[in-house]
Amino acid sequence: MNDQIAQSLFRPTRSAGRMAVGTLLLAGLGYLLRAVWEIRLAAAGEPASGPPDQGEGVHRPLTALEDSYHFVATVTGVLTAVCAICFLAWLRRVRENAADLSGCPPKYSGLWVYLGWIVPVVNLWFPRGIVADAFRTTAPGRRLPASVSIWWALWLTSLVTGIGLIYSASTDEIIARAYSSIWPLLASDAATIGAAAAGALAVRAVTSAQLACLAGDEAATPPEWAGA
């Protein structure tokens, strides 16, 4: 391996991986806090005045607990946005590095790094495919880390619930759901938290494999990151 190539790719790959892992865990923490506040809302019960959004543009004043939930939801949204940016930056980096290391063009066009998450139907497998392709190109013959499949299964679960990272309802509507039917909310939160944790492990596994390849030392990848 050419030392100049290794030097140019080593630090960006490692730093991008660390940023992705850190922001994934922070986003997961945000959803954990959101779940705690939803449990608090359910335990407190809906006020006699009804839900915050009372229809026809009428909104009653929020309680202190509801107001604090708005704050938690806003912080979680910001953390999720930062996480998305860092994860996409990491994904683009490892995709490009895999192509440079192997000398083969990636299986998926660079546009799919971004569009693959929002285009209907293909968003069910393209993002996982890009991660898997980067790993398999970097470490041919090795099994895909189990964390990649777990991350993707949990991510899809959060999408199926309709309340996950792309849920479009207002915060007041979510508060009303916490009062009336909290379990779907908690199920979605749990799937999102699990996806964030598994995603962090997947990022570490793929990054580690790539760094090992750059260093010319395959043994540098911890076996627990490589899957069974």
Contacts of residues 28-31 at CB distance under 8 Å and 24 or more positions apart, as own/partner, are 28/192, 28/193, 28/196, 28/197, 28/200, 29/79, 30/72, 30/75, 30/76, 30/79, 30/80, 31/76, 31/189, 31/192, 31/193, 31/196
At 55 the pLDDT is 81
Q: What is the pLDDT of residue 170?
A: 86
Q: How many whole angstroms separate alpha carbon 10 and alpha carbon 182? A: 45
List CB contacts of 82: < 8 A, sequence separation 6 or more: 23, 26, 27
Residue 1: the pLDDT is 46
**What b-and-e string marks burial along 56-70, b requiring 16 or more CB atoms within 10 Å of the CB?**
eeeeeebbeebeebb
pLDDT at 9: 52
Structure tokens at 58: 């009428």
**Close Cβ partners of 74 (under 8 Å, ≥ 6 residues apart):** none
Which pLDDT belongs to residue 132?
Answer: 95
In sequence order, which residues have a C-beta less than 8 Å from that of residue 88 and are 6 or more positions away? 113, 114
pLDDT (tens place) for every residue of the chain, 228 residues total: 445 445 455 557 889 999 999 999 999 999 999 999 999 999 999 999 888 888 877 888 999 999 999 999 999 999 999 999 999 999 999 998 888 877 888 889 889 999 999 999 999 999 999 999 999 988 888 899 999 999 999 999 988 876 544 456 789 989 999 999 999 999 999 999 999 999 999 999 999 988 887 776 444 444 433 443
